[in-house]
Amino acid sequence: GDSVTQMEGPVTLSEEAFLTINCTYTATGYPSLFWYVQYPGEGLQLLLKATKADDKGSNKGFEATYRKETTSFHLEKGSVQVSDSAVYFCALSDPGSNYKLTFGKGTLLTVNP
């Protein structure tokens, strides 16, 4: 079945530090890949997505590249801000599973001033 594995948190960084959150996946078909962000007490918001190999999704300074050869979709940001503190979820949507979204367990990011 489909699965998403992302690095265990929590991750604590200082403001302006470089961020990487690793995400790898297994899927029966050719999935689309997503990063969602959840701010405290809120629902999930789509942060970025990529639908085919070598696509780069980007939004709000965050980037992730769809790497089919390594089945990965790592999230990066060059300079984090305090306002980036949130839980980040990697996810995939697999046509072989009727497009149900499969999530990783989430990574809590805390950015200190």
- Interface residues toward another protein, by CB under 8 A: 31-32, 34, 36, 41-46, 49, 51, 89, 91, 93-95, 98-101, 103-106
The nearer residue to another protein, 12 or 79, going by C-beta atoms, is 12
Least distance from another protein to the Cβ atom of residue 69, Å? 21
- Round to whole Å and give the CA distance between 106 and 6: 7
> 3-state DSSP: the chain helix, strand, coil percent, rounded to 5?
5, 50, 40
Coil, strand, or helix at residue 8? coil
Distance CA 84, CA 73 (A): 19
In whole angstroms, the minimum distance from the beta carbon of 76 to another protein comes to 19
Token representation of residue 66: 């769809």
Task: Choose between 70 and 100: whose C-beta lies nearer to another protein.
Answer: 100
CB 89 → another protein: shortest distance, Å?
7
Min dist CB 29 to another protein, Å, is 9
- Please say which residue, 18 or 30, places its beta carbon nearer to another protein: 30
Cβ atoms 94, 100 nearer than 8 A: yes
Nearer to another protein, 4 or 111 (CB): 4
Radius of gyration of the CA atoms of the chain, in A: 14
Six-digit token pair at 6?
């992302």
